[in-house]
Amino acid sequence: MSKTERDAAKARTAKARAGKARAVKEPVTEMPVTEMPVEETPAAGGPVATALVAEAPLAQAPASGTVAPDVPAAGAGRESDGQRAGRLSVRKTYKLYIGGAFPRSESGRSYVVTSSTGGFLANASKASRKDARDAVSAARKAFAGWSGATPYNRGQILYRIAEMLESRRAQFAAELADAGTERAGEAVDAAIDRLVWYAGWSDKISAVAGSANPVAGPYFNISAPEPTGVVAVVAPDDPLLGLVSVVAPVIVTGNTCVVVASERAPLPSITLAEVLATSDLPGGVVNILTGSVKEIAPWLAAHMDVNAIDLTGVADEDLAVTCEQAAAENLKRVLRPSAPDWSADPGTRRMTAFLETKTVWHPTGL
Amino acid sequence: MFEYAPAPESRDVVDIKPSYGLFIDGEFTDGAGTPFKTVNPATEEVLAEVATASQADVDRAVRAARKAFGAWSALPGSERAKYLFRIARIVQERSRELAVLETLDNGKPIREARDVDLPLVAAHFFYYAGWADKLGYAGYGPDPRPLGVAGQVIPWNFPLLMLAWKIAPALACGNTVVLKPAETTPLTALLFAEICRQAELPPGVVNIVTGAGETGAAVVNHPDVNKVAFTGSTEVGRIIARSVAGSAKKVTLELGGKAANIIFEDAAIDQAVEGIVNGIFFNQGHVCCAGSRLLVQESIAGDLMEALKRRLSMLRLGDPMDKNTDIGAINSAEQLARVRELSDIGEAEGAERWSPACALPERGFWFPPTIFSGVAQSHRIARDEVFGPVLAVLTFRTPAEAVEKANNTAYGLSAGVWTEKGSRILWMADRLRAGVVWANTFNKFDPASPFGGYKESGYGREGGRHGLEAYLDV
């Protein structure tokens, strides 16, 4: 059995599993997708407002399980395209993901994404400073609702993302294979499992990171973790497992984020955005920018309404220093670059890096 | 107002030397920089001449700390604990002497040095002593390791207490330290060096280098320092955050604040008034978490202001060594100039200034307790940290407005809420973006309770189990 066949077979089993899972009734209503009204786009004026109009209404994005596992639904310009039964496939335009919508870059720029073997895959959007600022506004707007949601609710939504990802396993496996990921199917499995793992943390991290403090006086005193706010994330080049491994720990605790996707392999991140958009994740909780890391990351690092930055995916040392220096201006929490083994147990570090401890005192007495 | 007979504390309990050197590798040594004088801010009397550590002196201190690190970190935690317990005990034994020295050098009332600073210093060492052999239970893995040499820079508002907050957890976790006290308040740190000798702490585990900003920069930027801990202004915090960029140094910053103290109409007014006074006039307002913005629900603003003014008229300002004194001296001429400048700006921007009738001593650095009412959120006295006995008063109508105004600041260190309604306290506490929320109390501290800020008030926590993380390689 070839690798592709193995992946396809796995995907069929996965589809069957997903089908069963769907039959189980959810006990709690999940949070509805809040679509970002285009009119309210911050600093809307002229070209931006039009740029933010999503061309494909979110509600019509493919539902779980409807994608045939061996035929990528919204096929990229991948090399195998357009050869099936003489039919020319309908390609997907890869755009940004901001505030729950899929706008092109307001700059109108794009860049060519090629496969690991050099073939043309797509023209990805090349995000600008303005896109980054729009994304930060969307993330800030989403913060109150997302951080105020119950942990149970956030956990279910992360689990829902895993479900949606599972249902598109074959599509991701194909995209990852194009991007040069070895054992692409296993990478998708690991990404799904990681989401499930983090989903469970939503209502447990407080128990682990918080405390009841026995102070020397008649006071009730308790410390609990709270999300830091808006987090900028420079994702690593591992286009799915790495991406999920940096985004899930940020959002599960209630932060919202602006992600700069892998510059080399950005396409799976936008396909992941389709998964996020159909997982009851409120618009703006995760915003994804594709383009030049060197261009966008410093803007995010310097943005005064960003509370923290994860530089994990910054490979260029000088750029990392520039970003960390810019981050000092409003004392952002900085997670410095690293090259973790994404298959290892992640621990709690990526969650606690973007948590604040709040301590509340109250006198006891009659 | 009752007349009180003077009740001065005796300064004879402390023996101030004419000059002090640096404490490096267990010895007092000269510094290569130009020595500076430390004065009693209540009298402007020179207390002593203190050495300035040059870059080479800081090098020496870091080398000593590095040399000591191997053996210190290899000690069983239970042995490190015993050193820290010893230090805690000696602090208790010499508490009166330390309190008097603190008051002389800092200008804070002896009542506060004696009843707040010193008990908390001893408690902090006692608390972290107990952690030294229990680190495996702290939630950072079975055997968390120390970072190495910690470079620590502390402010002048709680000189010995900030030293304790820095040194106790660092040593408990197995690090060694180079600490720079503030240039206006170096004396208790140097007396602490003597305490380390009495405790027979191995040489090099604690090193104290004195000097001004340049010495502090040398400590923070030293390439062989693994950990930087700073308490002070947000302005300097930014410089430090920038300077460590790209290094492997772990950093914690405890910076400025502009805390909202929020009084709802159903609050117990007399208690709230005490809380407001404690919030902003404790330690002359030289407190990073001071409740410097008073948010009063509009319906009670008139009555509350009247009660507050009545209470302020009872405060005794004067000789910090008098046990009846409530408000001592501003720590330095420089700080006094800043408090004056911001207060003048407050007036110029249109807020209404009020102080009780209050005679200020002729010598020394003094500023009366001051209230500004009619303050707008855009006023600098509502936005800038004054770090002095100056309260800006704003009003609100709804809880949502109170939250909005309280969070409308770049800082996020602390907040206060006064209401008799429990559910409202919890609702407010959830929404206030601040590291410490005091409900129906204010300015309470405890070694078991984590302290630290959101946003531009810095990062990392001091105190409690959380405070260990800053000094462990996790």
In angstroms and rounded to an integer, the radius of gyration of the C-alpha atoms of chain B is 22
- 8 Å CB contact of A361 and B441: yes
| Structure token digits, residue B374 | 């009619």
Whether A216 sits inside 8 A of B464 (CB atoms) is: no
> Hey, are the CB atoms on A363 and B429 less than 8 Å from each other?
no
Interface test with B, best of A226, A311, A351, A362 (most B CBs within 10 A): A362
Least Cα separation, residue B173 to chain A (angstroms): 19
pLDDT beyond 50 at A67 = no
Looking at the partner chain, which of A213, A349, A363 has a beta carbon nearest the beta carbon of B464? Answer: A213
pLDDT of residue A366: 83
Q: What stretch of H or E contains B67?
A: helix B55-74
B254 carries an active-site annotation:
yes
Out of A216, A219, A328, the one facing B238 most closely (by C-beta) is A328
d(CA B368, CA B427): 36
What is the pLDDT, as a whole number, of residue A57?
A: 38
Residue B378 binned pLDDT confidence (cut-offs 50, 70, 90): very high
Q: Pick from A214, A331, A361: which is nearest to B458 by CB?
A: A331
The predicted structure's pLDDT at residue A134: 98
Q: Residues of A numbered 295-354 whose beta carbons fall under 8 angstroms of chain B's beta carbons: which are they?
A: 307, 317, 320-321, 324-325, 327-331, 333, 349
B59 by Cβ neighbours in 10 Å (0-12 / 13-18 / 19+) ranks as middle
The lowest-confidence range among A82-86, A348-352, B219-223 is A82-86
> A362 vs B123: CB contact, 8 Å cut-off?
no
Q: Given pLDDT bands bounded at 50, 70 and 90, which one contains residue B1?
A: low
Tell whether A360 is within 8 A of chain B (Cβ).
yes
Decide if A54 contacts A102 (C-beta within 8 A). yes
Of B434, B448, B456, the CB nearest to A331: B456
Give the model confidence (pLDDT) of B304-358 as tens digits: 999 999 999 999 999 999 999 999 999 999 999 999 999 999 999 999 999 999 9
Distances (CA, A) of B386 to A163, A292, B411: 53, 43, 13
List C-alpha distances in Å: A171 to A59, A196, A247: 20, 19, 20
- What's the confidence (pLDDT) of residue A81? 52
- Spatial contact of B326 and B281, defined as CB atoms under 8 Å apart: yes
d(CA B315, CA B309): 10
Nearest CA in chain B to A217: B446
Do A314 and A323 meet the contact criterion of CB atoms below 8 Å apart? yes
- Contacting A with CB below 8 Å, chain B residues are 123, 139, 234, 237-239, 241-242, 245-246, 253, 255, 410, 425, 429, 434-441, 444, 446, 448-452, 454-459, 461, 464-466, 474
Tokens at A195, concatenated: 């989401």
Q: What is the largest CA-CA distance in chain A?
A: 83
A83 vs B41, residue with greater confidence: B41
The closest alpha carbon to A343, from A156, A194, A132, belongs to A194
Residue in chain B lying closest to A323 (CA):
B245
Domains along the sequence of chain B with CATH: 11-255+454-471 (3.40.605.10), 260-439 (3.40.309.10)
- What are the residue ranges of helices labelled H in chain A? 3-23, 47-51, 129-148, 151-167, 169-179, 184-201, 205-209, 241-252, 267-277, 293-302, 317-327, 349-352
B241 CB neighbours in chain A (<8 A) are 324, 327-328, 331
The closest CB to that of A325, out of B242, B429, B474, belongs to B242
Residue B208 φ then ψ, to 5°: -120, 120
* Contacts with B449 from chain A: Cβ below 8 Å: 213, 215, 221, 223, 359, 361
Structure tokens, B81: 């604990």
CATH entry 3.40.640.10 includes domain A3-362: no
For residues B89-117, give the mean pLDDT: 98
Chain B: residue whose CA lies nearest to A307: B455
CB contact under 8 A, A328 and B245: yes
Query: What value does the CA radius of gyration of chain A take, rounded to a whole number of Å?
Result: 21
pLDDT given at position A85:
72
B9, B112, B254, B469: the catalytic one is: B254
Question: What pLDDT was estimated at residue A29?
Answer: 44
Q: Does residue A308 carry a pLDDT above 50? A: yes
Check if the beta carbon of residue B430 is closer than 8 Å to that of residue A321: no
Q: Please indicate whether residue A17 or residue B75 has the higher confidence score (pLDDT).
A: B75
Cα angle: B71, vertex B73, B79; to 5 degrees: 85
pLDDT at A256 over 50: yes
- Domain map of chain A by residue range? 3-362
Are A324 and B246 within 8 A, CB to CB?
A: yes
